[in-house]
Chain A
Amino acid sequence: LNVAAPLRLLLVEDEPTQLLLTQRMLRQGGYEVETASDGATALAKLATGRFQLLVTDWEMPGMDGPTLCRKVRATRLPGYLYILLLTGQIATRSVVIGLEAGADDYVRKPADEAELLARLAAGRRIVQLEQSLRDANAQIKRLSVTDPLVSAFNRRYLNEQLLQEVDLARRRQQPLSVILADLDYFKSINDQYGHQIGDEVLIHFVAQASGVLRDEIDWVARFGGEEFVVVLPGIGLAAAVTVAEQIRARCANAVIATEAGDLKFTASFGVATLSATRGSNAAAATMLLREADAALYRSKREGRNRITGADRL
């Protein structure tokens, strides 16, 4: 949420004159305003998750303001929605009903422009604070599962997410493949060019691998050191071998410019597909990685810069 950007506000009012007047006040107050003339239309618009603020009339045909508040609070929205009730009700009991229904604040009608905007400014602060907390949480979560050097997922994410992938593949009865990759002669690279260049090679590998993967479906995790796991949901062994070949070729053809001259590197790959239909997901995931590791070992033994599928073991 850009602090400078106008907040999106939904104004719900069934009386056209009040709608026009309030809408103008809110726009002059710097809000991006959309309108709805009844609760059902408002709920449909709010479900899009585009709004941060809701200003609603109390008395409306069909669904009144407090009912709308209750329904909104029962709806799962991407962020906090600050609700301000406009009410002609002057009894304290009515105000309590509105607040208990989920409204954050209220303004008595006819709304005074300065008061309405001041109360919404308080709402804006709450919305922005909640958004910054959510951003911080998301950032913490991202950091907790990301390798700080190469920006691929880390071992913790691999351990947790691979189980989920195995579970999903089994339930959907779809294939699931993994590619285990190991950079060839990585120790020599570190020794000859230094660790900083070694780090660049690791980053480069992830970039090359990511370049052939499907967005939001396939993913790469750093297994440890110079070893990586590529997870390919819905992909069988033959197709996974093809993906591995694309990564291998991209790595072999890439040139990394260093102060000590151009650097080329290769990697070896082992590919395996989920086969265990019985046993726990954890056991199946372990087996999958073990088969990929055995295939990788064979690639290393047979000369490196090559791919071995688990069917050749």
Chain B
Amino acid sequence: MLDRHGLGTAREGARGANPRLIAPALDLVRLRATVGDDWQFMKELCRTFMASSRSLLEELQHAVSCEDRPQVKAVAHKLKGGAGSVCAQRIMDLSLALEHTALGAPGNELAGMVDQIRAALGECASVVEVYFS
């Protein structure tokens, strides 16, 4: 369970695999190294991220369905920044990919990436629920 939530050494055993697939949803070890042993702040930060990213996900969904590609790019960029702040590596990677491909990739590919982000966000929510409830 610790590995799955980024508290163990999940990366070490996955050499050669697609980093997007093995990146932890929420790397709490790295986050703790960044913000220090301030559990309360980590909790506040993660909860802020969850609230913000849920809203951004809705914006993404809407922008993709409207084919508003500049907006897809802008929202993906914003989501990437928030994810980077809490070490949500998988969401960060997916958002980066979405940001880079937003203007050119087919619509169904973008929609697929949004689905992956939604799934990764769901995993983050589980981690937050387990550690910060």
Residues of A within 8 A of B (CB): 14-18, 20-21, 24, 57, 59, 61, 88, 109-110, 113
Interface segment, one of B4-12, B15-23, B82-90, B110-118 = B82-90
CB pair B84 A109 closer than 8 Å: yes
A-B residue pairs, 9 tightest by C-beta: A17-B82, A17-B49, A17-B85, A110-B84, A21-B85, A16-B52, A18-B85, A15-B81, A15-B82
Closest A residue to B38 by beta carbon equals: A24
When the two chains form the complex, which single residue of A17, A88, A109 contacts B52, counting CB atoms closer than 8 Å? A17
- A-side contacts of B45, CB under 8 Å: 17, 20-21
Give the number of residue pairs across the A-B interface with Cβ within 8 Å: 47
Known: A18-B81, A61-B74. 18 other contacts (CB 8 A): A15-B78, A15-B85, A16-B48, A16-B49, A17-B45, A17-B48, A17-B52, A17-B82, A18-B82, A18-B84, A20-B44, A20-B45, A20-B85, A21-B45, A88-B80, A109-B81, A109-B84, A113-B34
Would you call B82 and A24 a contact (CB within 8 A)?
Answer: no
In chain A, what residue has the closest Cβ to B53? A17
User: Within residues 50 to 109 of chain B, which ones have a CB less than 8 A from any CB in chain A?
Assistant: 51-53, 74, 77-78, 80-82, 84-86
Inter-chain CA distance A14–B48, complex, in Å, is: 13
Q: How many residues of B contact A (CB 8 A)?
A: 19
Contact partner of B41 (CB less than 8 A), chosen from A14, A24, A61, is A24
Task: Specify which of A14, A20, A110, A113 is in contact with B78 (CB 8 Å cutoff).
Answer: A14
- In the complex, chain A residues whose CB is within 8 Å of the CB of B41: 24
